[in-house]
Structure 1
């Protein structure tokens, strides 16, 4: 068994993909013609987005829609880079909301927190030393 995808449910898939391309420099792998599902290249495990309406047709499990004005869902997206501070500033310039500026942790990692255009918490950090 291996982790293949992380799927986040969002109101607007195409807007979210474009945000992640501009804010974090991730590359689009694919977007369906209906803009109901998309994948971004992130290494071995893909970060994917599906429309809130799309998931309602797949399951009866209730999904609470995310939004920037709501509390962040209990999940965190972690993006690892050698250049934390420039990446953090680029994300803010693209519309991410600063939660906590990058700071050095006791174990040596540089870590900062943002919220994306849907309200998800995004950590930008350096690799573990």
Structure 2
């Protein structure tokens, strides 16, 4: 059986990206290498992790599109579920995120907002589906 284990984003600064998630959302740092080129957050069963662009370049000889260098957000996001989207949204902005879309209620009852993290990652904040 195949199991979803990791999401890894390549970023310019692994340590500061971890710090953003720690301060904005009270997440806990699980691990960071001595070289600070790879780190993980304690997010439950699936690991959210970050690796340096240097590490990414060593994995992909042809290169890739960096979220921090792209003018527009990439077509992939991290979705964080919370009961208070407005509070989490405002906290993220306080710690350097840029608002893309303020919290809004969706027709199916979910509240959703979109931000771009200081590292360029597209971030969705949302209430649980069906809440």
- TM-score range, shorter-chain basis? over 0.9
**SS of match in other structure, 2:18:** helix
Distance 2:92 2:106 in 1: 21
> Is 1:109 the equivalent of 2:110?
yes
**What number of residue pairs does the alignment pair up?**
129
Contact 1:100 1:114 in 2 (8 A): yes
Which 4+ stretches in 1 moved above 4 angstroms?
Answer: none
What is the deviation of 1:9? 0.3
Contact 1:77 1:123 in 2 (8 A): yes
> Is 1:48 the equivalent of 2:23?
no
Match of 1:91 in 2: 92
Distance 1:6 1:19 in 2: 17
Distance 2:61 2:69 in 1: 25
**SS of match in other structure, 1:7:** strand
> Is 1:22 the equivalent of 2:23?
yes
Structure 2 residue runs without a partner (length 5+): none
Distance 2:7 2:34 in 1: 20
Match of 1:62 in 2: 63
Distance 2:70 2:76 in 1: 16
Distance 1:46 1:19 in 2: 16
Distance 2:104 2:74 in 1: 23
Distance 2:15 2:69 in 1: 17
* TM-score w.r.t. length of structure 2: 0.92
Distance 2:70 2:56 in 1: 22
Distance 2:94 2:60 in 1: 37
